[in-house]
Structure 1
Amino acid sequence: MALLPLRPEFPPFLSKGGTLSRCRRPGTASRRGKSKAEGRCAILFLCRSIEKGGKVLKETLLRGRIVRALAGYYDVVVEEDGETPSAEDGQDFRRSVLRTRARGLLRELGITPLVGDLVHVRPTGEGEGVLIEVLPRKSELVRPPAANVDAVLVVATLREPEVDLAYLDRLLVHVEHARLEAVLFWNKVDVLGLSEREELEALLGVYRSAGYATFAGSVRTGEGLPEVRAHLAGKVLVLAGPSGVGKTSFLRVLRPDLPLAVGELSRKLGRGRHTTREVVLVDVGQGSWIADAPGFGALRLPDVGLPELGRLFPEIAACAEGCRFRDCLHEREPGCAVRAAVEEGKIARSRYANYLTFLRELREMHAERY
């Protein structure tokens, strides 16, 4: 999953409410060399109202959230009374959905609406409308393409399929790089024997001590689900994890009415088959939205400097403050507090080993570039 940090969606000469600042006339460039694109963007905002007979007549615009994007169409959930559906108010609303097409001017400006975007739409008919404006985003993911995400719910299993700790830590590095919260849910505890449950308890301790909210349970039996739901309340999340761990099944437990396909685990290969083909944002109640997205393949590490990698491991970042050298990479440097923490058992050896593997991979990436 390739993740991007927050970026502004509109040029700085537009205020949040859509009014102009530092722009002389819509559609014309100022002496400072405003581009034609800025003029078109100004028109986009000004066309929301017209003046007639000394009165301003505003067109009917509704606020909503994009819940599905497919083949140039955007399904937008809006409120019956025109209020913006929000995952922050902790309430469940009666939803209405408009299937919209983006206004041509958005395409000209290079603005691509994403699932999770808060938008303004204009109804044009029964169940249809035009997407007029994409509101500023607080976060953006590239893979899967989604906006305004608060956290990533990483689903994993100890068995069926077998856990891949390198893949899990790689995924967590991406989440840290995007400055999103990572929540871990270990599914299928009902298939584990006594010794395997002890192994899982040890892993839970590893990731909890690293600073991650970590839960264990079973989608099939319902064990542990109330605790997870309580933690997810009021958040917009993306489901992530390898195939076959039960991501889509997790959604079906929260919303049994959803017509989602669930694939059977390929026992021959020991891994699951992807069952999701598009990004869909699902209202699961308690003010929460969850994006079910296509399965992820191999994840290339984010393009960061070598010293920054350690900051993407929370427990390593905390111990690194005690290192003798500020740019310590925690390999063979003298006075390294991180290596000392590994020897003392404060940092899990599996996490440290994956850190070193990723560090070597980053070096190779940098060498290929130069």
Structure 2
Amino acid sequence: MTEGTIIKALSGFYYVKSGDEQVQCRARGLFRKQGVSPLVGDHVVYEAKNPTDGYILSIKERKNALNRPPIANIDQAILVFSVVEPALDCQLLDRFLVYMEAHSISPVICFTKWDLIAEDETEWIHERLEAYKKIGYPILFTSSLNQEGFPELRKIMDNRISVVTGQSGVGKSTLLNYLDESLNIETQAISHALGRGKHTTRHVELIPVSETGYVADTPGFSSLELPDLEPIELERCFPEFDAYRASCRFRGCTHLAEPNCRVKQALEEGEIDQSRYENYKVFFHELTERLRNKY
């Protein structure tokens, strides 16, 4: 028996890497009975008689896992959003941030197509970016036309397993092709009729970007469900509330209608971004409605 890491899952096969060896494995039927599926990123114990005939025997404990994309043991998420074509969607970005915060995955925001921004959009874009910087989220800017930002992106991927995800049509495949030219991932232009890109990625795979760093290519998508949270847990996914929640009058304050709420006071004083707070309210009511529909 040998230990390794699943680096690709495709058509019922799991490709497990151990040192310089890579073995094609199937999952034991026991996993199906237990309702457990191996994921890319899983550390596993396997047995193989040859490189194309192995079986995964057990899955080691995961530090985190996502359902979409289906991947485990992620160190950081590179959230790829364009500033134009398609237009920057801050509510969708906040959904991704909440999703990663809920799963204890460190997010890095990567803004693409910076060279295409129109002069009349510059002020609004910079205002939104400053709001995310103030919270403390790392931010990168890339331009495939000018080849800007890619060396910095590669550097932050060293010694980590990163997941690259985000809205469709924002240049994610172009970014991955830069990190590894041999990938030659299909890229497609934006559908102007729909205002979004076509899906170009069909499986999850860990791609080496350095001797010690891996990145997962994952499908882009234009919507994202909030994670499985109780409404009261949502505020923990907004780091800008951290400095104020302990000073709220009521324990378990939702920061919506309660009196003497320190978070709302910070909002009125401009210490918390209004747009982010409005999205917090939208998400809170969405989670509340989801909970109501369960019963």
The answer to whether the superposition gives a TM-score over 0.5 is yes
Q: Does the 8 A contact of 2:157 with 2:215 survive in 1? A: no
Q: Which residue of 1 aligns with 2:173?
A: 248
Q: Aligned-pair distance for 1:120? A: 2.9
Deviations 1:129-176 (A, max 9, x none): 333332222211112111111121100111110111111111111111
* In structure 1, distance between residues paired with 2:291 and 2:22: 47
Counterparts of 1:12-51 in structure 2, within 5 Å, are none
Match of 2:150 among 225, 234, 240: 225
Pick from 152, 163, 177 the counterpart of residue 102 of structure 2. 177
Query: CA 1:144–1:191 in structure 2 vs 1: closer, same or farther (change >3 Å)?
Result: same
Equivalent in the alignment of 1:369: 294
> Is the counterpart of residue 167 in structure 1 residue 107 in structure 2?
no
Equivalent position of 1:39 in the other structure: none
Aligned CA RMSD, in angstroms, stands at 2.0
CA contact (8 A) 2:24 2:52 kept: yes
Q: Which residue of 1 aligns with 2:55?
A: 130
Change in CA separation of 1:197 and 1:230 when aligned onto 2, cut-off 3 Å: farther
Q: Is the 8 A contact 1:97 1:127 kept in 2?
A: no
Shift of residue 128 of structure 1? Answer: 4.2
Question: Residues 263-282 of structure 1: matches in 2 within 5 Å?
Answer: 263-282=188-207
| Structure 2, unpaired ranges of 5+ | none
* Aligned match of 2:22: 97
Segment drifting more, 129-138 vs 319-328: 129-138
Question: Which residue type is aligned with residue 194 of structure 2?
Answer: L
Seen in structure 2, the aligned counterparts of structure 1 residues 191 and 361 have a Cα distance that, compared at 3 Å, is: same
- 2:72 maps to 147
Distance 1:154 1:148 in 2: 17
Distance 2:29 2:285 in 1: 46
What is the aligned partner in structure 2 of residue 31 from structure 1?
A: none
The 1:229–1:200 alpha-carbon spacing in structure 2 relative to 1, beyond 3 Å, is: farther
Give, in whole Å, the separation in 2 of the partners of 1:305 and 1:98: 41
SS in structure 2 at match of 1:113: coil
| Equivalences, count | 295
| One-letter amino acid of the counterpart of residue 146, structure 1 | I
TM-score between the two structures when normalised by the length of structure 2: 0.92
Letter in 2 for 1:77: K
Q: Tell me, which stretches of 5 or more residues in structure 1 are unaligned?
A: 1-60, 81-95
Using the TM superposition, name which of 257-266 and 272-281 deviates more.
257-266
- CA separation of 1:297/1:187 partners in 2, compared to 1, >3 Å: closer, same or farther? closer
What's the counterpart of residue 3 of structure 2?
Answer: 63
Q: Which moved further from structure 2: 329-338 or 148-157?
A: 329-338
Once the two structures are aligned, what percentage of the paired residues are identical?
A: 40
Offset at residue 258 of structure 1 (A): 0.9
TM-score, with length taken from structure 1: 0.74
Work out the CA distance in 2 between the residues paired with 1:155 and 1:223. 15
Which residue pairs with 1:73 in the alignment?
13
Task: Please name the residue that 1:321 is paired with.
Answer: 246
* 1:110 Cα offset (Å): 4.3
Gap change, CA 1:215 and 1:293, over 3 Å in 2: same
Quick check: 1:116–1:148 contact (8 Å CA) kept in 2? yes
CA contact (8 A) 1:154 1:185 kept: yes
| 1:223-276 Cα shifts (integer Å, max 9, x gaps) | 122222222221112112110011111111000011421122212222111101
Shift of residue 364, structure 1, vs aligned partner: 1.6
* Mapped partners of 1:369, 1:131: distance in 2: 36
Q: Secondary structure at the match of 1:332?
A: coil
Secondary structure of the structure 1 residue equivalent to 2:286: helix
The alignment partner of 2:214 has SS state of strand
